[in-house]
Amino acid sequence: MKIKRILSFFMCIAIILTALPLSVFAENEEPYAKIRFRNPEKYNVAFGETEEIYLDYNTGGIEIHKIEWEVSKKLLCKIEYVTDESTGLVTGAKLTGKNFGSLTLTARLLDENGNEIISDKRSLYVVESENKNSEEKFKIFLRDSYLVSAMGTMYIVIPFVGAVIFSPVLVPYYAYLTVKAIILGV
């Protein structure tokens, strides 16, 4: 009878321990930071469209003072930062694709001394939108293909540079030919 009571006491303790969440016994979780899209099917920013991203993070019990965002190429996207009303921290951004290409977005969590707690980097691409028809895509191609720059270089810059470089040699040569033709009467 005594063994049954001792065994039932240990069984009760085991049942009570399994009912408690394990996080009660954990000291601190590891800090993490992850930049995610609001729409989980999105991986890139479409040209001319706006995508929302947010920072999913845990500081592991360290009080954060600031979240800094950094963008490697600011010309590719227009960025509007989103502040969390409850914490006052910038926890998200709205990215609108302006130019095609790749960029790196970095979010850093800083403590009150300015030391980095954790950070995350995400490579993004500004890609062609799937919702545009062929006429809109052609207009974008003409606008962003630098076709005008290529034509200007080919028909204006190269002849001008050629004239500047070769005129010290060609002007005297053609002057010589003109004088020779006048003297000889040819």
pLDDT digit of tens for each residue in the chain (186 aa)? 677 777 677 676 767 766 655 544 445 577 777 878 777 777 788 878 888 888 888 877 777 778 888 888 777 788 888 888 888 888 888 888 887 788 888 888 888 888 888 888 888 888 877 777 778 777 766 666 666 667 767 777 777 777 788 778 788 888 888 888 888 876
Q: What is the pLDDT of residues 100-125, one digit of tens each?
A: 788 888 888 888 888 888 888 888 88
Q: Whole-prediction pTM value?
A: 0.54
Residue 5, classified by CB atoms within 10 Å of its CB into exposed (0-12), middle (13-18) or buried (19+), is exposed
The pLDDT of residue 159? 79
